[in-house]
Structure 1
Amino acid sequence: MKLTAVFKPLILCLLAASCYTSTVHAYGGLPDLGGNGFSVLTPEKEKQLGDVMMRQTRGSLPMVYDPLMDEYINALGNRMVARANDVKFPFKFYWIQDKNINAFATLGGNIASHTGTLAIADSESEFASVISHEIAHVTQRHIARFVEAQSQNAPLTLAGLLAAIVIATVNPEAGMAAMAATQGAAQQSAINFTRSNEQEADRIGMQVMADAGFDPYAVPDFFRKLAEQSRFVNQQLAFLQTHPLSQSRVSDTRLRAEQFSKRFIPDSQDFSLIKARVLARYQYDKQHSETVFLKKLGQPGGNTKANQYGLAIALFDNNKLDEAKKLIEKLLQDDKHNLYYIDVYTDILIAQGEYQQSLDMLEQQYLLRPNNQVVTLNYANAALSAKAYRLAIHLLKSLLFYKDDNILAYSMLADAYKEMEDLPRFYEARADLSYQLANYPKAIDNIDEALNYLQPEEKLEARRLEAKKKQLQAEFSRLQRM
């Protein structure tokens, strides 16, 4: 599905726009920390704080809300989580739209990767090595131990600490400055804490990825590539700032890899297609993307389905619909249920005004895979385009019943209610969207707007919204006091 709106990063203060820690239908889940400082971070508290941090991150960074990419990274990540020890809570994986190479973990099993990290990976195992390393940071509780250590060294506020850690994972220098401002004097910087744990994360991460069926030799290969790239830029790569790379560390990973038997592990088709998608949509400029994929296809061995798919995306994004359609139709002939192809093909049909054909195709896929977010969101998008708003609302509400943090679904739901001129439901959907983007004040304002548009006879609905507003206010006040 081609997104018609890009979610821009919101420049929000953590105290002015904090985060929810449960679903939009359940409130009051914030951990009781017992004051401004805390010395023991239990797994339950870590998970709750991790949710706070991730919602703050989603509200302040350019996240990618692409269902195909979301499915891919969560499938790959959880494949390795299933092989890890000391897993205390479910993991979630996210994308950040950034051409630089970086990835980071926050408390509670939330892991994010820059799109640029996958773009540079020459194999699925190289990308898996980055994700497995972050998984190890979480399972070994490196970040949790850092939080505990900081609380013992200096008086902290929850808001200041979380904000500093979020910043440090993305911009180390700014993060250290924020930590210093929070504590009066930085007792131990986030980057120094990370250095002391990198070797352990390398060791455990390599074992996890090997157990999950990936190539452990990809770890030193990826490190070597990063070291070489870093030599040719003025500033150290973001990944190397948060994950310092010494020569001894490279040597150590090479020796560890040699303990595993060498075997050929091919990339999955999903990796090849998702990389083509990332390159076409997030790494190359739109005008340049078409030229790049045409060149790839003309090289020896380059006429692959992945490169054809990447070219189809580039053609579509440059409004060359007929050319893109021919390419995708050819790919669909050999793989008619492939969601990567269906996603682009139905977008082309919608752009050409062939709404019913798009709806019919997606209806068949929905009957086969009713709980798949890629199918459901594409189907809802086609319904919105065809002005079948009630169908779109039904699909989106069904999706949100079991995936209640889906940003794109809330945005589309708001659009559907707006088109139907159902303003109370429109503003409530906007409130839920603000909730997920960590903007408390906006969420409360939208609930007020929803209440203003209710009819006098809708007393039960008014009571429900008033109760929801009070929960928001109470939770927001509690966060401000921490």
Structure 2
Amino acid sequence: MIQVAVSSLKKPAFWAGLALSVLSSVTAQANTTLPDIGGSAFSTLTPDTEKQLGDVMMRQTKSQLPMVYDPLLDEYLNSLGNQMVAKAQDVKFPFRFYWVNDKNINAFATLGGNIVSHTGTLAVSDTESEFASVIAHEISHVTQRHIARSVEARSQNAPLTLAALLGSIILATVNPEAGMAGIMATQGAAQQSAINFTRANEQEADRIGIQLMADSGYDPYAVPEFFNKLAERSRFANAQLAFLYTHPLSQARVADSRLRAEQFQKRFVADSPDYALTKARVLARYHYGIKDAEAIFLKRLSSPGGNTKANQYGLALAYFDGKKVKEAEQIVLKLRQQEPDNLYYIDLYSDILIAKGQYDDAMTMLEQQYQLKPNNQVITLNYANAAIQGKSYRLALHLLRNLLYYRSDIFPAYEMIADTYKAMEDYPRYYEARADMYYQLAIYPKAIDDLNEALNHLAPENQLENRRLEAKKKQWQTELNRLKRL
């Protein structure tokens, strides 16, 4: 399945601070209510207000960072994260987990249960428990309301606007030291108290996170082990790791995590098969270049104990991305003989069949899988992609609309709908689909421009569609005007 690189979309810099909660293009109506923002509005954040602001912040994040919209990675991260959320205390809203394509080790949480991990965090982990320790830590920041309390504390000392808050979150991922200063500090001497507040939060998140890992079946001892790894990497690096800027790591904190882990019985916790395959996918597609990935996986396969399914899968990905389709097919066919319903292998084999022009074969395979796993995003997006390539446009639209009705935040589906209408030369719906895509990223000027293009392509007698699009444009313009006043 082709991944969508949102960072490649052109986004006017002027609108970097504008965002609003998602409006699905699948439904005619949406809740566009925003909390009253400005000055003392942040002094007390209720869970409902925090969730609304979190949605605003996440849409802003999506429009500004190189998000990874890879259905396999998305399924893995949300499965792992929500497995721990199910064991957590004080959960006040649903959680969503996202990836940023960044080789640096880092993760962060925003208001409202939105958690983002860099791909580099998974790439450097040696066990699933190590990676889970980072996610558990971020979950704990949210459930303990550390971010909400820090926002409340700052708003009591200085006016706080939505643009300033969102800008600090984005800055924290690009320049973590400056970003944390923007989020936590108020004025002058208050910066030191903000740092102390952060350290206290980190200790509490460590304590809650270690317990959460144990309750979820992961190894609590992975926390001090991962801390030691970070400390060693930072020691020999020219600059401090991004993770350590946003998550200060002292010797006392490392020692405390070790003592807390030792409260639990030491036991072996095996990695899940999906962890190994997900890590191979991250390394092959997001961490190394194509030639480097091929060399690395060949070396791993030739080393003692290295002939694993994950390394074979990683090599097959590297071969496919390097246009060595035949070599990739040989590997994935052998893997599918053992696990014909494995989503990782189905995804790659679908791409291989499409690359060979065997669209009917791809659709036949994926139709069978769709019957078993309806609305699974990996199967559905691949099925729709095969249908588009095979010119079965109505089928593709049916699949994609159903998927978005089931879950409206799957960004690749919006882009694929736009591509489908363009291939059908249905330009009013093509421009409307593009508008919905830009609206998902809070890029209002482009979204409204594309709605105008859709209106320009409508036949004059199509009055019903004209009124519908005009109403949609008016709604978006109203939201934009309100955001410009914040």
What band does the TM-score fall into relative to the shorter chain? Answer: over 0.9
Aligned-pair CA distance for 1:34: 6.4
Q: Please tell me the residue identity of whatever aligns with 1:363.
A: E
Q: For 1:167-188, what per-residue CA distance to the aligned partner results, in whole angstroms no more than 9, with x for missing partners?
A: 22542233256569x9676844
Partner SS, residue 265 of structure 2: coil
> Partner residue of 2:450?
446
**1:44 is aligned to 2:82:** no
Partner SS, residue 94 of structure 1: strand
d(CA) in 2 for partners of 1:9, 1:209: 38
> Partner residue of 1:154?
158
d(CA) in 1 for partners of 2:328, 2:15: 47
Aligned-pair CA distance for 1:38: 2.7
> Partner residue of 1:75?
79
d(CA) in 1 for partners of 2:17, 2:142: 26
Aligned-pair CA distance for 1:32: 2.3
Partner SS, residue 197 of structure 1: helix
Q: Pairwise mapping of residues 88-237 of structure 1 onto structure 2 (< 5 A)?
A: 88-175=92-179, 178=182, 187-188=190-191, 193-237=197-241
> Partner residue of 1:366?
370
Q: Pairwise mapping of residues 274-293 of structure 1 onto structure 2 (< 5 A)?
A: 274-293=278-297
d(CA) in 1 for partners of 2:191, 2:451: 42
> Partner residue of 1:391?
395
d(CA) in 1 for partners of 2:424, 2:412: 19
Aligned-pair CA distance for 1:357: 0.7
Structure 1 window deviating more from structure 2 (135-144 vs 33-42): it is 33-42
Aligned-pair CA distance for 1:322: 0.7
Contact 2:4 2:70 in 1 (8 A): no
d(CA) in 2 for partners of 1:366, 1:245: 46
Contact 1:179 1:186 in 2 (8 A): no
Query: Gaps spanning 5+ residues in structure 1: where?
Result: none
**1:337 is aligned to 2:341:** yes
Q: Please tell me the residue identity of whatever aligns with 2:92.
A: K
> Partner residue of 2:88?
84
**1:313 is aligned to 2:317:** yes
d(CA) in 1 for partners of 2:240, 2:16: 33
Distance verdict in 2 for CA 1:373–1:205, change over 3 Å: same
RMSD: 1.9
Q: Please tell me the residue identity of whatever aligns with 1:50.
A: G
Distance verdict in 2 for CA 1:450–1:193, change over 3 Å: farther
d(CA) in 1 for partners of 2:61, 2:9: 9
Aligned-pair CA distance for 1:226: 0.5
Q: For 1:429-463, what per-residue CA distance to the aligned partner results, in whole angstroms no more than 9, with x for missing partners?
A: 11111111121111111111111111122211111
Q: For 1:115-141, what per-residue CA distance to the aligned partner results, in whole angstroms no more than 9, with x for missing partners?
A: 000001101000000000000000000
What is the TM-score normalised by the length of structure 2? Answer: 0.95
Structure 1 window deviating more from structure 2 (57-66 vs 12-21): it is 12-21
d(CA) in 1 for partners of 2:5, 2:381: 14
> Partner residue of 2:299?
295
d(CA) in 2 for partners of 1:175, 1:2: 32
Aligned-pair CA distance for 1:9: 6.8
Distance verdict in 2 for CA 1:130–1:179, change over 3 Å: closer
Aligned-pair CA distance for 1:29: 2.2
d(CA) in 1 for partners of 2:6, 2:18: 22
Q: Please tell me the residue identity of whatever aligns with 2:313.
A: Y
Q: Please tell me the residue identity of whatever aligns with 1:18.
A: L
Paired residues in the alignment total: 481
Query: Gaps spanning 5+ residues in structure 2: where?
Result: none
Structure 1 window deviating more from structure 2 (423-432 vs 35-44): it is 35-44
d(CA) in 2 for partners of 1:432, 1:268: 37
> Partner residue of 1:2?
2
d(CA) in 2 for partners of 1:147, 1:369: 42
Contact 2:38 2:161 in 1 (8 A): no
